[in-house]
Chain A
Amino acid sequence: MSKVGGVAVIRKVTLKKGLDFLIKNNTVVVFFVMIAIASLISDAFFTERNIFNLLRQVAGLGIISMGMLLVVLTGGIDLSVGSITALASVMCAYFLVSMPLFPSIILTVLIGICMGAISGYLVANRNMAPFVATLSIMTIARGLAFIMSKGSPIIAHNQGLNAFGSGYWLRVPLPVFLMLLVFLIVWFILKFTVFGRLVTAIGSNEAAVRLSGIRVGYYKFMVYCISGAFCAIAGIISTSRTGVGSPIVATGIELDAIAAVVIGGASLSGGRGTATNALLGVFTLGVIGNIMNLMNVPGYPQQVIKGLIIIVAVLLQGSGRKEGN
């Protein structure tokens, strides 16, 4: 009798351990569940063409989410990412009218950094709430995008840029490599550098970091600049893919980026989150959209379903956190 009981206990313990593991790695679990569902539902999902299409579609969101992750880690939020992306898309095309490719890109990225720097200054030096500061920049940047483009898309004449947008290397779309590069940079920053360490620490406990003699303001300022730069890159990719600089691209993408880092287990109060998980969050969102497109789900129900899936993913994390403590 007792022996049987013992086995049952062991089995229970292993089960509990396995469950703990799943909850702890819920981002990965959610991601693979989505993949599994997708491949069951549609034969078209696991085709090379579809996968690379999916990857190309999320390249911009992936890059933006990496910047968002850094901001969120400090306990902030960046609502201006979509507008800065649109402004960059417009400005890139605008510069290309009169300038070669390379300086156009540099100038566009600088504009992205400047927009981020304004948010960063307001948050770090003027103690403005990140939500409010970036909300203002969101409106300003979108407005500027419309002003510069006079309300309609600017056609971007540049073969090199267009070739990048539609190009492949080893059958993988080129923008995907750019996304992976940005991911690797952020991953490295968070894992191995002083910058990453302090960004995370500030989000955990700003007062303690300040009293350790760290320039908290500098790091808070920098994350918004980096986020701005990444948005600019996403904007350039958008122009390269469509061949036009459009003031209406990336509308609402800030919410997708926030959703991605949250699905990736980041805490909106700061201090918790990793680059890998945020990228998985991006992919998860991408897969959700992709399946629904393959199944011809119309746009409005898509939004409802996406919202529900985000709720479920984050609820899973909630139970994971309690287990952890």
Chain B
Amino acid sequence: MATTYRVEMTGIYKSFGGIHALKDVSFRLKPGEIHALVGENGAGKSTLIKILSGAYQKDSGIIKIDGKVIDALNPYISQKLGIGINYQEFALAPDLTAAENIFMNKLSNSKGVIKWTKLYNEADELIKRLGFEIDSRTLVRNLSVAYQQVVEIAKALSQNVTILILDEPTAVLAPQEAEKLFEVLLRLKGQGVSIIYISHRLDEIFKIADTITVLKDGAVVDTVLPSEVNVEQIMSMMIGRTITTMFPRKEAIIGDEVFRVENLNIGNKVKNISFSVRSGEVLGIAGLVGSGRTEIARAIFGADKKETGEVVLHGNSLRIRDPREAVRHGIGLVPENRKEQGVILNLSICNNVTMPSIRKVSSILGVIQLKKEKDIVKRLVEKLAVKTKCIFANVGDLSGGNQQKVALAKWFSADCRVIILDEPTRGVDVGAKVEIYHLINELAKQGLGIIVISSEMIEIIGICDRVLVINNGRIAGILEREDITEENILRLAIGKRTG
């Protein structure tokens, strides 16, 4: 008898506004297996799991769950079928206890009364089943990220989940915490739960996955067994090209120091950070998520308060208390969270682009010179190749890559001398990525100092001249061009924290 697959997706197509996110994707999940899904950002992993969880609707294709064809999948049905998904951002209520979160949708009995002792006991038991000791009376806010993850998984299990989807679960975890998570996953697998595991970290995939499916540009490259392949083969399947074609050749001439940060401290998060950037140089800041990279950028830009720290631009010490002062001195920030902070989705491209430089396109009395504004925006939209019919289209209607170009264009119009880019290509398709790399390169050629924060190793390696590796809020090391390798960065980023 043939195996019944838990999930069998065949010939799935999905497009957003004419762009194919998934093309003829087929995916099968066996009972009690850990199936890894790998691919670059924008390869279609999230789209695929969102279709499975019912958040998106497929355009065409067949989905079978436990052998039954499921036509209209929505989040409710998907949950009924035992599919649980843990998104990268936790969907927990921080001010409720672990137990309340775990049993969120069945807190009370049929009479509408909550039996607290029973609730806590059951929650404790569930957590114990996962091999952890967490007091379920603790507020989620007070739990470490790893423990929050455990709560999240326990929540899924409480809903009788038998197909668990994990989206980059280890991105926020320290190595020893990740090890614990793997134990949990292996235990669940032993209990017959099927797991879809998405991760960028190939080493851990080889450690725990039974099957690997590689996606690239919305299509399946191959589904393989870990024993049949090695890391390099998976890498080349993911990228599909060599790194040199993806990243532009550096042509910028590195000059004198433009920008320097000295002794930056922010509470417990960032300690003693000092570094400098030279003109034409692209300085990378690498480190795990939560290591303090974003905090450094925001403190320099004046978006968050810093305890101590001097910012020096062209030899002059600056006082930056809010983003306005930073912009005035010629420092720009492209924040990591594009939709919440980088652009305003329901305003036009034009309004977004001139936001930091609005005073430059208006008269002294504050009347906007619409013609001048239009000309500037038109030029930038052409220069950055933002794909749009009209500069008055809403940014929300653009694809992720084009939205990010708008976020970048804001600083092209503002005469910046230093630009800080936080995850500049997150959620951007490969084509737009390459264009963004070229734009970064061009800014460097104009003599700007550029700081790029990124979680993507190949990106850091491909575009940076120097890399600052942050570990737990401190500088773990600075790598120069030839020393910038994946091993070196990882070693510094996750190395034992000494002093």
Contacts and interface: CB of A to CB of B under 8 A. Distances in A.
A188 to B, nearest CB: 9
B392 to A, nearest CB: 13
A204 B344 contact: yes
Contacts of B346: 204, 271-272
Contact of A208 (B328, B342, B370): B342
B157 to A, nearest CB: 35
Interface stretch (B147-155, B204-212, B246-254, B359-367): B359-367
A194 B362 contact: yes
B366 A193 contact: yes
Contact of B410 (A192, A195, A212, A215): A212
B107 interface: no
Given A209-B355, A212-B356, A215-B324, A201 B366 contact: no
A201 B344 contact: yes
Contact of B327 (A198, A207, A213): A213
Contact of A205 (B324, B340, B359): B340
B368 A192 contact: yes
Contacts of A271: 346
Contacts of A192: 367-368, 370
Interface string A174-212: 000000000000000000111101101100110111111
A213 B323 contact: yes
A214 interface: yes
Please classify the interface of chain A as helix (H, G, I), strand (E, B), loop, or mixed, using the class held by over half of its residues. Answer: helix
Contacts of A214: 323-324, 355-356, 358
Interface string A282-303: 0000000000000000000000
Contacts of A200: 347
A31 to B, nearest CB: 24
Instruction: Give the one of B323, B326, B327, B343 with max A CB within 10 A.
Output: B323
A201 B355 contact: yes
Given A192-B368, A201-B355, A212 B347 contact: no
A273 B105 CA distance: 38
Contacts of B291: none
Contact of B367 (A193, A207, A209, A210): A193
Contacts, number: 73
Q: Of A193, A194, A204, A209, which is in contact with the most chain B CB atoms at under 10 Å from its CB?
A: A194
A213 B347 contact: no
Contacts of B324: 213-215
Nearest to A205: B344
A121 B24 CA distance: 57
Contact of A210 (B323, B359, B366, B414): B323
B340 A207 contact: yes
B425 interface: no
Interface in B311-341: 322-324, 326-328, 333, 335, 340-341
A212 B303 contact: no
Nearest to B329: A213
Contacts of B303: 210-211
B301 interface: yes
A212 B355 contact: yes
B365 to A, nearest CB: 8
B472 interface: no
A201 B326 CA distance: 20
B51 to A, nearest CB: 20
Contacts of B366: 193-195
A212 B343 CA distance: 9
B345 interface: yes
A207 B301 CA distance: 13
Interface string A209-245: 1111111000000000000000000000000000000
A213 B356 contact: yes
Nearest to A193: B366
A198 B355 CA distance: 8
A205 B351 CA distance: 13
Contacts of A207: 340-341
Nearest to B325: A213
Nearest to B369: A192
B341 to A, nearest CB: 5
Chain A CB within 10 Å — which of B303, B343, B366 has the most? B366
Most B CB within 10 A of own CB, among A200, A207, A210, A212: A212
A197 B358 contact: yes
B368 A204 contact: no
Nearest to B301: A211
A211 B333 CA distance: 7
B333 to A, nearest CB: 6
A212 B327 contact: yes
A213 B326 contact: yes
Contact of A201 (B340, B342, B347, B410): B347
A214 B414 CA distance: 13
A211 B358 contact: no
Interface in B365-385: 366-368, 370
A272 B346 CA distance: 9
Most chain A CB neighbours (cut-off 10 Å) among B345, B347, B414: B347
A211 B341 contact: yes
A220 to B, nearest CB: 14
A198 B358 contact: yes
A210 B323 CA distance: 7
Contacts of B327: 212-213
Contact of A204 (B335, B342, B347, B367): B347
Given A194-B368, A205-B340, A208-B340, A213 B328 contact: yes
A192 B367 CA distance: 6
A212 B323 contact: yes
Contacts of A211: 301, 303, 323, 333, 335, 341-342
Contacts of A193: 362, 366-368
B372 to A, nearest CB: 13
Which of A197, A204, A211, A214: most chain B CB closer than 10 A? A211
Given A205-B345, A211-B333, A272-B346, 18 more contacts: A192-B368, A192-B370, A193-B362, A193-B367, A194-B359, A194-B362, A205-B340, A207-B341, A208-B355, A211-B341, A211-B342, A212-B356, A213-B328, A214-B324, A214-B355, A214-B356, A215-B324, A271-B346
Interface of B: 301, 303, 322-324, 326-328, 333, 335, 340-347, 351, 355-356, 358-359, 362, 366-368, 370, 410, 414
10 cross-chain pairs, A with B, having the tightest CB-CB distances, nearest first: A213-B327, A212-B355, A205-B344, A212-B356, A194-B366, A213-B324, A204-B344, A207-B341, A213-B323, A193-B366
Interface of A: 192-195, 197-198, 200-201, 204-205, 207-215, 271-272
11 contacts: A194-B366, A204-B345, A210-B303, A210-B322, A211-B323, A212-B356, A213-B323, A213-B324, A213-B326, A213-B327, A213-B414
